[in-house]
């Protein structure tokens, strides 16, 4: 259900997601075992409003203009860029990331310069903002009077009311009848055939929205969620948040990583099969990269 776009600081169209229950986790057998997509568990969710799209460059620019905020990538002086998207001098490229040589630290890469100092966001106002850390997303939320979704809220909204489906549109594969999401085509990470039209980000209203009206919850960019990442086993429950028996706790005392959901333009079945409703990933709260963004939520009662 779509609702009227809210005026003021946060101008993204809102989707009213009804409260209800759903089965969270992988039901297709495509899970990445270390990601904690299983076992399936029941979750009850209170009604909330969620952004129809991820926060765009134009949206983030309004926040920065109003506050003077400096992102962590700008403060650190570098961020992670996919090797085929680098737009910088050789001197600015700090070298490949260990274990993922298709990524490089690039000096001068930030939300205004997604490929490095020789790039900009002119003409990309309707693309998702990238190179924003979890901490940066939190700062935006504080300014906007909103918050990041819990991963249970995110998955519930991404499913669009289709119980147990692999993708937001159902179980048909991404390329069935035409591309349904912005992911990698070709030989990862060397050659992208660009069958969907995009090497990196796509405008946030590309492809079709899901049953609730969310645009591109999978593919395009990873989306930060509120939760700490826990590889965990689950017990069934009906609380507003899914309850976990933590087997390897990670949090503010012991470690480090926050949940990311939805996959990105770099996901490919041969490597990162995480452009699915149940797929999970993680990164440290101060990390930024050229395929990471966010969308925000608010409880329904907070908006009345």
46 token code pair? 């209170």
Q: Where are the domains of the chain?
A: 2-303
Q: Is residue 235's pLDDT more than 70?
A: no
Tell me the whole-structure pTM to 2 decimals.
0.91
220/201 Cα distance (integer angstroms): 6
CA quadruple 304, 2, 291, 273: dihedral sign: positive
| Mean of per-residue pLDDT scores for the chain | 89
114-162 pLDDT, tens digit per residue, is: 999 999 999 999 999 999 999 999 999 999 999 999 999 999 999 999 9
Q: For 247-284, give one letter per residue: b (16+ CB within 10 A) or e.
A: eeebeeeeeebbbbbbbbbbbbeeebebbbbbbbbbbe
- pLDDT at residue 232, as a whole number: 57
Q: Which residues pair with 222 in a beta bridge?
A: 292
Q: How far apart are CA 220 and CA 263, in angstroms?
A: 7
DSSP assignment of 36-75 equals ---S-EEEEE--EEEESSPPBHHHHHHHHHHH----HHHH
Q: Which fold has domain 2-303?
A: 3.90.1580
Structure confidence at residue 105 as a pLDDT band (50, 70, 90) = very high
Tokens 């050659």: give the residue. 191
Please provide residue 267's backbone torsions phi and psi, each rounded to the nearest 5 degrees. Answer: -70, 140
Among the ranges given (101-115, 247-261, 268-282), the one the predictor scored with the smallest mean pLDDT:
247-261
Find the distance separating the first CA and the last CA of the chain, reported in whole Å.
16
> What is the mean pLDDT of the segment spanning 277-299?
95
Average pLDDT over residues 230-258: 51
CB 182 within 8 A of CB 238: no
Task: Let me know: does 265 contact 219? Beta carbons within 8 Å.
Answer: yes
Write the pLDDT tens digit of every residue in 14-43: 999 999 999 999 877 777 777 888 888 899
Tell me how far apart the alpha carbons of residues 267 and 259 are, in angstroms, rounded to a whole number. Answer: 17
Band of residue 233 on the pLDDT scale cut at 50, 70, 90: very low
Q: Is 205 helix (H, G, I), strand (E, B) or coil?
A: coil
């Amino acid at each position: 259900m779509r609702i009227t776009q809210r005026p003021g600081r946060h101008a993204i169209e809102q989707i009213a997601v009804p409260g209800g229950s759903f089965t969270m986790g992988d039901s297709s057998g495509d899970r990445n075992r270390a990601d904690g997509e299983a076992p399936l568990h029941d979750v009850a969710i209170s009604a909330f409003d969620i952004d129809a799209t991820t926060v765009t460059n134009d949206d983030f620019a309004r926040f920065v203009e109003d506050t003077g905020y400096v992102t962590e990538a700008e403060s650190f002086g570098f961020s992670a860029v996919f090797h085929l998207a680098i737009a910088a001098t050789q001197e600015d490229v700090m070298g490949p990331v260990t274990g993922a040589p298709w990524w490089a630290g690039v000096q001068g890469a930030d939300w205004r310069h997604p490929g490095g100092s020789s790039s900009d966001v002119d003409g990309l106002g309707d693309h998702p903002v990238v190179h924003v850390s979890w901490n940066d997303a939190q700062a935006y939320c504080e300014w906007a009077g909103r918050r990041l979704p819990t991963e249970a809220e995110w998955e519930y909204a991404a499913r669009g009311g289709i119980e147990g489906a692999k993708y937001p549109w159902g179980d048909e594969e991404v390329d069935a009848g035409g591309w349904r999401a912005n992911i990698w085509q070709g030989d990862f990470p060397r050659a992208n055939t660009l069958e969907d039209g995009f090497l990196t980000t796509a405008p946030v209203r590309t492809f079709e929205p899901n049953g609730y009206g969310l645009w591109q919850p999978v593919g395009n960019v990873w989306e930060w969620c509120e939760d700490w990442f826990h590889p965990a086993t689950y017990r069934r429950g009906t609380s507003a948040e899914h309850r976990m028996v933590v087997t390897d706790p990670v949090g503010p005392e012991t470690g480090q990583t926050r949940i990311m959901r939805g996959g990105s333009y770099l996901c490919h079945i041969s490597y990162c099969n995480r452009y699915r409703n149940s797929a999970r990933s993680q990164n440290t709260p101060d990390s930024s990269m050229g395929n990471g963004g966010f969308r925000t939520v608010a409880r329904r009662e907070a908006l009345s």
